[in-house]
């Protein structure tokens, strides 16, 4: 049997164990046959139908169950042992075993969840070679490292229609994520129908909300893909949209209107009035009846306390009850809410802030602060999940997120028992800068690398191999209908304004958005800001830059022609792009960036000449160029010329 290293599979997440076999199972029109054995349920039939459809789409081979050319033995035999929980939990057995031989494939799993994960693995294995489409012979034993592998989607700051949510769930299932955290309310919008308090969605959403029928549809869609759905209703802060219809919930006098800006705002629920808890009791009762998951997220983050400070009645309440700080006041509120959540049969989740001394230990903390905060909670017996390090909106590379481990850093010294309390993690897609058009380009493919961190063995950390497989999974995701590739092209076309797309793409491929919160700092943005600029198009993670940097790092003799080719293309791009920039309101802000690219590419070419001996390596030359490259390093239009460090390396090498 071939050694493991020789079997360069394209799987993401990497399975726990992969044992290559000999030969290959051919995939043709007969693949339409998947045979289900053992425990049966409708969800398994649907999953089998979906697998056939996805294989047909990936291969372009028509597959229609039941009408194949011949009637062969099923090329994929599935055995499922028993049902998973009626409402999916974080304690499910998601393992599976997949065996592929040239004669057929067999998938064994204790529950439908494992079957579905195994089918996604099978789909990823489908490839083409000189003999046609097929799956390599292999034995895979697989199970997740963490039981909680999530994505939080903020549909409140920018509204995401139902189709976008479903498409996101398609992608999640493909990389074995199992928790969809739905951030449904914010200062900027209340996004779900409440029959009990209709002014919430009627006055708080600009008409952009999900009906309860649609919510049920999403929950069913997610369950069919092995994904839990957890709603978040952020309180007591981040709640301005509630107050538009129900100002009596707030701590200030109002009136309120839907917030159009981004940021942290003063309005907060009034923790001192019984009517607020009565309202929340009724509301949480309605929502917990709608969402079956055992958890219910109450947010709890970023209360600035200004409304509390300004309200004499609240100040009086604090004095009367010996509450010494706003943090204590929030803890009082959160304990009350936790009681309500528990009364309705659910466990509470909140962001770090919800954890206080006398909070019951059966809550779950979602940490935007980091592993240290999770570790502190775990030591107190509280379960948690990590989100710090997985914020997709901050413009970091896949490698950056990939390096973050829920049990790394401050959680590394936990005991084995305490580690069990770290259930996994959730990536967060906050939507200040994300419209439906941009959604997939901001979530995918980076999310797949994070999914691997949540699923695969801890020691799977090879970044180069991750990127190789990320390319493959990215193409697979496009076959599923995700739009990260498509929308990138369309946005480039918009920037090109009817002119040639090439020069715009050349620039877009070597820039990245500024990281972290630098974008918000650079420019005032709000709900009405067009997100159609180069910064919106630019990928947080440029394949081109990574490729070029690799060539410069390696710099074998064979790499020099490609390095030169790239540099010449960048140098000459300004000539082609400048006239387009002059005629484009959207590209105008990128004039200097384009000039800088050309200038540093020219410096790169000079360095190459020196390296190849075509020019003498003059002493003062580098110093002369340093200033130019340092200027080019500064962000322009909130964009970083991310190819600059590699060119600088080239210059240094030419010393």
400 part of the interface to a second copy, by CB under 8 A: no
591 part of the interface to a second copy, by CB under 8 A: no
Least separation in angstroms between residue 469's CB and a second copy is 11
Least separation in angstroms between residue 616's CB and a second copy is 33
Tokens of 141: 């034993």
Contact status, residue 268 vs residue 300, Cβ threshold 8 Å: no
Least separation in angstroms between residue 545's CB and a second copy is 18
220 part of the interface to a second copy, by CB under 8 A: no
61 part of the interface to a second copy, by CB under 8 A: yes
412 part of the interface to a second copy, by CB under 8 A: no
Least separation in angstroms between residue 513's CB and a second copy is 16
Q: What is the DSSP string of 257-302?
A: ----B-S--S--B-TT-HHHHHHHHHHHHHHHHH--SSEEE-----
From CA 366, how far away is CA 71, in angstroms rounded?
Answer: 51
CB atoms within 10 A of CB 542: 19
102 part of the interface to a second copy, by CB under 8 A: no
State which of residues 25, 55, 364, 491 lies at the interface with a second copy (CB under 8 A). 491
Least separation in angstroms between residue 258's CB and a second copy is 8
Least separation in angstroms between residue 593's CB and a second copy is 17
Smaller CB distance to a second copy: residue 269 or 491?
491
354 part of the interface to a second copy, by CB under 8 A: no
559 part of the interface to a second copy, by CB under 8 A: no
576 part of the interface to a second copy, by CB under 8 A: no
Tokens of 312: 């004499």
From CA 115, how far away is CA 375, in angstroms rounded?
Answer: 33
Smaller CB distance to a second copy: residue 4 or 64?
64
Contact status, residue 479 vs residue 54, Cβ threshold 8 Å: yes
292 part of the interface to a second copy, by CB under 8 A: no
CB atoms within 10 A of CB 611: 18
From CA 300, how far away is CA 644, in angstroms rounded?
Answer: 41
Nearest to 231 by CA among 242, 246, 216, 245: 216
From CA 21, how far away is CA 2, in angstroms rounded?
Answer: 7
From CA 32, how far away is CA 29, in angstroms rounded?
Answer: 6
564 part of the interface to a second copy, by CB under 8 A: no
132 part of the interface to a second copy, by CB under 8 A: yes
Least separation in angstroms between residue 394's CB and a second copy is 22
Least separation in angstroms between residue 237's CB and a second copy is 23
State which of residues 139, 435, 461, 615 lies at the interface with a second copy (CB under 8 A). 435
Q: What is the DSSP string of 419-435?
A: HTTEEEEEEEE--TT--
188 part of the interface to a second copy, by CB under 8 A: no
29 part of the interface to a second copy, by CB under 8 A: yes
547 part of the interface to a second copy, by CB under 8 A: no
Least separation in angstroms between residue 575's CB and a second copy is 14
Nearest to 193 by CA among 205, 208, 211: 211
Least separation in angstroms between residue 551's CB and a second copy is 16
From CA 171, how far away is CA 182, in angstroms rounded?
Answer: 15
Q: Cα dihedral angle (158, 331, 383, 347), rounded to 10 degrees?
A: -70
Start-to-end Cα distance in the chain = 49
Task: Return phi, psi of residue 154, to 5°.
Answer: -85, 105
Residue 302 falls in the annotated catalytic set: yes
53 part of the interface to a second copy, by CB under 8 A: no
From CA 231, how far away is CA 182, in angstroms rounded?
Answer: 5
State which of residues 81, 170, 206, 286 lies at the interface with a second copy (CB under 8 A). 206
State which of residues 2, 41, 45, 62 lies at the interface with a second copy (CB under 8 A). 62
Coil, helix or strand for 22?
Answer: strand
Q: Which residues contact 654 (CB under 8 A, 6 or more apart)?
A: 606, 607, 608, 610, 611, 617, 621, 622
Tokens of 24: 């290959």
Least separation in angstroms between residue 489's CB and a second copy is 7
Q: Exposure of 7 by Cβ count < 10 A (0-12 exposed, 13-18 middle, 19+ buried)? A: middle
Supply the Cα-derived Rg of the chain in whole angstroms.
27
Q: Which stretch binds a second copy (CB under 8 A): 325-333, 392-400, 489-497, 599-607?
A: 489-497
Q: Which stretch binds a second copy (CB under 8 A): 214-222, 244-252, 487-495, 503-511?
A: 487-495
Q: How many residues lie near a second copy (CB under 8 A)?
A: 53
From CA 334, how far away is CA 510, in angstroms rounded?
Answer: 46
Indicate which residue of 302, 342, 437, 592 is catalytic. 302
| DSSP single-letter state for residue 178 | -
Residues in the chain: 655
Smaller CB distance to a second copy: residue 211 or 278?
211
Cis peptide before 255 (omega within 30 of 0): yes
State which of residues 3, 255, 312, 530 lies at the interface with a second copy (CB under 8 A). 530
Smaller CB distance to a second copy: residue 295 or 566?
566
Q: Which stretch binds a second copy (CB under 8 A): 171-179, 419-427, 485-493, 602-610?
A: 485-493
139 part of the interface to a second copy, by CB under 8 A: no
Half-sphere exposure of 478 (CA within 13 A, CB side): 13
State which of residues 8, 588, 634, 652 lies at the interface with a second copy (CB under 8 A). 588
Q: Which stretch binds a second copy (CB under 8 A): 63-71, 103-111, 218-226, 317-325?
A: 63-71
Smaller CB distance to a second copy: residue 478 or 609?
478
Least separation in angstroms between residue 612's CB and a second copy is 23
Q: Would you tell me the crossing angle of helices 463-479 and 42-59 to the nearest 10 degrees?
A: 100
State which of residues 81, 437, 520, 592 lies at the interface with a second copy (CB under 8 A). 437
Residue ranges in 69-88 that form contacts with a second copy under rule CB under 8 A: 69
Task: Return phi, psi of residue 121, to 5°.
Answer: -65, -45
State which of residues 193, 352, 536, 638 lies at the interface with a second copy (CB under 8 A). 536
Q: Which stretch binds a second copy (CB under 8 A): 67-75, 607-615, 620-628, 639-647?
A: 67-75
Smaller CB distance to a second copy: residue 6 or 69?
69
10 part of the interface to a second copy, by CB under 8 A: yes
Smaller CB distance to a second copy: residue 382 or 538?
538
Coil, helix or strand for 281?
Answer: helix
Residue ranges in 227-286 that form contacts with a second copy under rule CB under 8 A: 258, 260
From CA 441, how far away is CA 110, in angstroms rounded?
Answer: 35
From CA 431, how far away is CA 87, in angstroms rounded?
Answer: 29
Residue 22 backbone class (left: φ over 0; alpha: ψ -120 to 50; beta: rest): beta
Q: Which stretch binds a second copy (CB under 8 A): 305-313, 342-350, 483-491, 560-568?
A: 483-491
Positions annotated as catalytic residues are 302
In the complex, which residues of this chain contact a second copy (CB under 8 A)? Answer: 10, 29, 57-62, 64, 66-69, 127-133, 206-208, 258, 260, 435, 437, 472, 475, 478-479, 485-486, 489-491, 493-494, 497-498, 527-532, 536, 582-586, 588
């Amino acid at each position: 049997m071939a050694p493991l290293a020789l079997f360069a599979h394209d799987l993401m997440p990497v399975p726990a164990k992969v044992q290559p076999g000999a030969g290959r199972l051919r995939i043709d029109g007969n693949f339409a046959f998947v045979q289900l054995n053992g425990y049966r349920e409708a969800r398994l039939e649907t999953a089998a139908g979906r697998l056939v459809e996805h294989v047909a789409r990936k291969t372009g081979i028509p597959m229609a169950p039941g009408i194949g050319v011949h009637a062969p033995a099923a090329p994929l035999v599935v055995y499922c042992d028993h049902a998973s929980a009626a409402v999916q939990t974080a304690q499910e057995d998601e393992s599976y075993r997949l065996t592929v031989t040239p004669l057929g494939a067999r998938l064994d799993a204790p529950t439908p969840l494992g079957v579905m994960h195994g089918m996604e693995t099978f789909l990823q294995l489908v490839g083409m070679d000189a003999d046609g489409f097929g799956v390599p012979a292999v034995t895979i034993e697989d199970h997740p490292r963490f039981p909680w592998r999530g994505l939080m989607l903020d549909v409140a700051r920018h509204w995401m229609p139902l189709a976008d949510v479903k498409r996101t769930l398609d992608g999640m299932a493909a990389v074995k994520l199992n928790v969809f955290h739905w951030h449904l309310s914010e200062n900027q919008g209340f996004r779900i129908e409440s029959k009990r308090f209709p002014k919430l969605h009627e006055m708080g959403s600009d008409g952009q909300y999900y009906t309860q029928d649609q919510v049920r549809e999403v929950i069913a869609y997610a369950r069919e893909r092995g994904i839990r759905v957890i709603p978040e209703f952020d309180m007591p802060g981040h709640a301005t949209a509630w107050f538009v219809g129900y100002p009596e919930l707030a701590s200030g006098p109002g009136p309120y209107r839907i917030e159009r800006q981004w940021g942290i705002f003063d309005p907060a629920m009034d923790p001192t009035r019984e009517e607020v808890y009565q309202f929340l009791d009724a509301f949480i009762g309605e929502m917990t009846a709608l969402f079956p998951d055992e958890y219910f997220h109450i947010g709890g983050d970023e209360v600035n306390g200004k409304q509390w400070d300004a309200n004499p009645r609240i100040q009086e309440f604090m004095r009367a009850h010996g509450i010494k700080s706003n943090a204590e006041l929030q803890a009082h509120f959160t304990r009350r809410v936790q009681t309500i959540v528990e009364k309705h049969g659910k466990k509470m989740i909140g962001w770090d802030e919800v954890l206080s001394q006398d909070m019951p230990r059966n809550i779950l903390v979602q940490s935007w602060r980091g592993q240290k905060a999770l570790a502190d909670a775990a030591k107190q017996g509280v379960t948690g999940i990590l989100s710090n390090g997985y914020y997709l909106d901050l413009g970091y590379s896949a490698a950056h997120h990939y390096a973050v481990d829920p049990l790394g850093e401050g959680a590394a010294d936990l005991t084995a028992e305490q580690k069990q309390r770290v259930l996994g993690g959730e990536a967060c897609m906050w939507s200040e800068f994300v419209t439906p058009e941009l959604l997939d380009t901001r979530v995918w493919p980076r999310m797949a690398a994070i999914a691997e961190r949540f699923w695969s063995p801890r020691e799977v950390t090879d970044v180069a191999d991750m990127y190789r497989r990320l390319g493959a999974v990215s193409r697979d995701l496009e076959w599923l209908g995700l739009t990260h590739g498509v929308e990138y092209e369309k946005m480039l076309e918009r920037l090109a304004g009817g002119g040639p797309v090439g020069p715009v793409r050349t620039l877009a491929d070597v820039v990245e958005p500024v990281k972290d919160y630098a974008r918000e700092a650079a420019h005032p943005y709000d709900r009405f800001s067009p997100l159609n600029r180069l910064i919106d198009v630019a990928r947080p993670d440029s394949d081109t830059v990574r490729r070029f940097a690799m060539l410069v790092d390696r710099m074998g003799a064979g790499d020099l022609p490609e390095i030169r080719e790239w540099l010449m293309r960048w140098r000459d791009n300004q000539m082609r792009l400048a006239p387009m920039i002059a005629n484009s309101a959207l590209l105008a802000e990128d004039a200097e960036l384009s000039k800088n690219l050309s200038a540093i590419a020219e410096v790169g070419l000079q360095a190459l000449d020196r390296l190849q001996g075509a020019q003498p390596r003059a002493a003062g030359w580098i110093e002369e160029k340093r200033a130019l490259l340092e200027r080019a390093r500064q962000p322009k239009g909130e964009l970083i010329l991310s190819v600059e460090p590699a060119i600088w390396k080239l210059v240094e090498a030419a010393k």
